[in-house]
Amino acid sequence: MASVLAPAWGVKEMTDPDKAQEIREYMQSVAGSNFTLSSGETVTVIKGDVKEKNGEAILIFRYQIVK
């Protein structure tokens, strides 16, 4: 039986513009890492970045549920 990959999910969250570079570096460092959520599901962080525009910063990242 062939396994089917779960779809990737995306998240957008406003963040502190003063912390944008620190958050960007952290998200890049955890790309490919697995985390267990409080729900018990395990997810893999696919990628993440902070977009800055007009004095605002938005954290955007994608993850995939793996189990």
Tens digits of residue pLDDT in 10-54? 999 999 999 999 999 999 999 999 999 999 999 999 999 999 999
**For residues 34 and 42, is the Cβ–Cβ distance under 8 A?**
yes
**Is position 22 within any domain?**
yes
| Number of domains into which the chain is organized | 1
pLDDT over 70 (residue 2): no
- Biggest CA–CA distance in the chain, Å, is 50
**Is position 1 within any domain?**
no
The identity of residue 31, as a single letter, is A
Q: Record the pTM.
A: 0.77
Other C-beta atoms closer than 10 Å to the C-beta of 11 total 10
**Is position 39 within any domain?**
yes
Give the rounded distance of the alpha carbon of 22 from its chain centre: 14
Q: Residue 52 is part of which domain span?
A: 9-65
**Is position 44 within any domain?**
yes
